[in-house]
Structure 1
């Protein structure tokens, strides 16, 4: 196993632990608790979870080409006008996105991490590496 794969394996293990802890913390929350904010100008607990879930799906599906169309649709969960999600839906979203990420991470070689992809932000196109996307997400 290369140094890159060992490093990625160690990071993935840490992310898995974080995934489990986050899911455990969200699971018992009521809709009222999910709506709580640390301050009025900050995201609610639900909005924070939705952001994590949607960003995972968006970057992995639309940029890296991972997952099916149903997985890609999860990227829309945080869009304005989207329905409120229950704790069980958020935990499911975390699980689904984590599984796609974990499957991809187990498959990527050091060369795969160097592959570049075109992305767009506000009409401006730029290049990112697969490794950068993994780090970013």
Structure 2
């Protein structure tokens, strides 16, 4: 058996389509729509979008050791008082720059890289997290909170054909012959 040297983007194809759906869902929203909170203990639509970007950047920084990820550093520079969660252009910028960080890694790494481990200390325990586990964690975070975003926007009557009905999968599969 030969080793697979294809970039991980071939394995994770489709995640890029989900990213497009997230951006298309956020970009046209008003400050009021982003500020909508279905209950006092839940995040607003804008806070959810912000949380997706912060989660991506946080996991990359903590596990892969990225201290400088170019434009993605804007996410770590966001302060609570900046009210980024009510600014669609800033939220889109956060999603796009953190996606570039992910996309660059997926285009650079191969299937063999999935086994490489990265240290992480959490709640007094030291873990050796495989790259595969970390990428799945980040993707699952995107999917979970993207669904939360779809529900929050849907509660406002906002149509989301891509993120809702199509499940965020904008990449159409090939037709059978």
Runs of 5+ unmatched residues, structure 1: none
* C-alpha contact (below 8 Å) 1:5/1:109 kept by paired residues: yes
Q: How does 1:1-137 map to 2 (within 5 A)?
A: 5=6, 8-11=9-12, 13-66=13-66, 68=68, 70=70, 71-72=72-73, 74-75=75-76, 77=78, 81-85=80-84, 86-137=87-138
Structure 1 moving runs of 4+ over 3 Å? 1-8
SS in 2 for 1:119: strand
| Distance in 2 separating the partners of 1:87 and 1:75 | 17
* C-alpha contact (below 8 Å) 2:34/2:45 kept by paired residues: yes
Q: How many residues align?
A: 134
SS in 2 for 1:93: helix
TM-score (norm 1): 0.82
| Distance in 1 separating the partners of 2:5 and 2:38 | 38
Relative contact order, higher structure (CA 8 A, sep 6+): 2
* C-alpha contact (below 8 Å) 2:8/2:107 kept by paired residues: no
Which residue number corresponds to residue 174 of structure 2?
none
Runs of 5+ unmatched residues, structure 2: 139-177
| Distance in 1 separating the partners of 2:117 and 2:77 | 24
Bigger Rg over Cα: 2
